[in-house]
Amino acid sequence: MANDLNKMDYKAEFLRGWPNGSALELDRYELDTAVNVEAGDLVKVHTSGKLIKVPASSDAAFAGIVVKGNLDDKSVAKSGRPIVLWSNYIVRTQKFTGTIVNGTGVVAEAGIFAAAGANPPMGYCLQTVTGTGGEPNSIVVVVK
């Protein structure tokens, strides 16, 4: 029986860079008060020194992506320190908004990927995947 290659087990699946890759990974930062994150959420370091989701009012060209957050990992929930990649990864994710086509630069906006437009991109879309059989659409993004 063949596997459905369109089916994703998680909202963000890391194709390169984690685990055992060249990605810059840290679990040093604590989550700010009342912040909850899961795999695929885009975060930044707040002035408090703690992690927050990238707000809707910004379109950050630099953000980290959560590999394991307090909503999807018990040990992270206990420690309050999610695993975050800051660069050198490729991810397939359902966490994006708007129309993003192959080759489009992406930024972090409201905790997810969005088209960069005139702003400097944090990465680029390598592939768009149209969901079939009830599966949501996804994109493959490279961040260096």
Question: Number of folded domains in the chain?
Answer: 1
- Residue where the block lists tokens 């995947």: 129
* Calpha distance 140→142 (Å, rounded): 7
Residue 120 lies in a domain: yes
Q: What is the pLDDT of residues 24-50, one digit of tens each?
A: 777 789 999 999 999 999 999 999 999
Q: What is the pLDDT of residue 1?
A: 38
Q: Name every residue whose Cβ is closer than 8 Å to that of residue 141 and which is 6 or more positions away in sequence.
A: 90, 91, 92, 93, 106, 113, 123, 124, 125, 126
Sheet with strand 83-87: strands edge to edge: 24-26, 83-87, 64-68, 42-45, 51-53
- Residue where the block lists tokens 């707040």: 46
Closest CA to 95 of 41, 55, 56: 41
Closest CA to 82 of 47, 44, 38: 38
Section 12-16 average pLDDT: 93
Residue 1 lies in a domain: no
Residue 2 lies in a domain: no
Single pTM value for the model: 0.90
- Residue where the block lists tokens 């493959």: 140
**Which domain covers residue 119, as residue numbers?**
12-143
* Calpha distance 99→121 (Å, rounded): 15
Q: What is the pLDDT of residues 58-103, one digit of tens each?
A: 777 789 999 999 999 999 999 999 999 999 999 999 999 999 999 9
* Calpha distance 135→133 (Å, rounded): 6
Residue 3 lies in a domain: no
Q: What is the pLDDT of residue 2?
A: 44
Residue 7 lies in a domain: no
Residue 54 lies in a domain: yes
Residue 78 lies in a domain: yes
Q: Which CATH number characterizes residue 27's domain?
A: 2.40.300
Residue 131 lies in a domain: yes
